[in-house]
Amino acid sequence: MKTNQVIKPLIFVLACVIAARFILPANWTPILALAVFMPYVTSNKSIQVLMPIGILLLTDIFLGFYGQTMFFVYSTLILIALISRYQSTGSLLSLMKYSVGSVLIWHVVVNFGVYLNGHDGSSLAQTYLLAIPFDLRLLASTAFFSLIFYSAWATKEYFRSSIEKA
């Protein structure tokens, strides 16, 4: 494995852990955007899945663990990372579609886990409805960070191609 394949994702990990732990408000996180964006960063399929999971685990160590719902959170993040491999890398439209899709998957699966583990008698529909404000913030942050990541990647690609042509 090339050192460069490890260093680039590690930079993303550090930035995301710092942002998620110390800077960003609740439900405003780069984690889904990173899971969707990893195919742009590395072709190593293991790193594409392990980086987002590693970030989530590190932030959970700092913020605290939250019971049985964690299974749904981690499983959903793995699913999103696996699905994201199929996007056409290089396309902003594809990245944004996968970003929105990842939040929809998150909404359905994680909130189903919340419903299964809840003890307050709420219906599944009520659980999904109550989650909408949180997941709208997650959608905004995922779209925002996807655009940030894509802009940085596109700028790097532009300068790299300019240098290669010279």
CB-count burial class (<10 Å; 0-12, 13-18, 19+) for 35: buried
pLDDT for res 4? 66
pLDDT of residue 2 exceeding 60, the answer is yes
What is the Cα–Cα distance from 152 to 34, expressed in whole angstroms? 13
- Percent of residues, the chain, with pLDDT higher than 70: 90
CA distance 140 to 121: 30
Domain spans in the chain, listed from the N-terminal domain onward: 3-165
Query: Using 50, 70 and 90 to split pLDDT, how confident is the model at 162?
Result: confident
The mean pLDDT value for 12-35 works out to 77
Instruction: Report the pLDDT averaged over residues 128-152.
Output: 94
The pLDDT of residue 70: 94
Average per-residue pLDDT in the chain? Answer: 87
Tell me which H or E stretch contains 70: helix 69-84
Q: How far is CA 107 from the centre of its chain?
A: 13
Q: How buried is residue 77: exposed, middle or buried, by Cβ count under 10 Å (0-12/13-18/19+)?
A: buried
**Predicted local distance difference test score (pLDDT) of residue 1:** 55
* Whole-number pLDDT of residue 94: 93
Q: How far is the first Cα of the chain from the last one, in angstroms, to the nearest whole number?
A: 29
pLDDT score of 159 more than 90: no
Question: Could you read off the pLDDT of 5-19 as tens digits, one per residue?
Answer: 667 666 766 776 677
Say which residue, 108 or 13, is predicted with more confidence. Answer: 108
pLDDT, tens digit, for every residue of 36-88? Answer: 999 988 889 999 999 899 988 988 888 888 889 999 999 999 999 999 999 98
pLDDT given for residue 138 in this prediction: 95
Considering the entire predicted model, what is its pTM?
Answer: 0.84
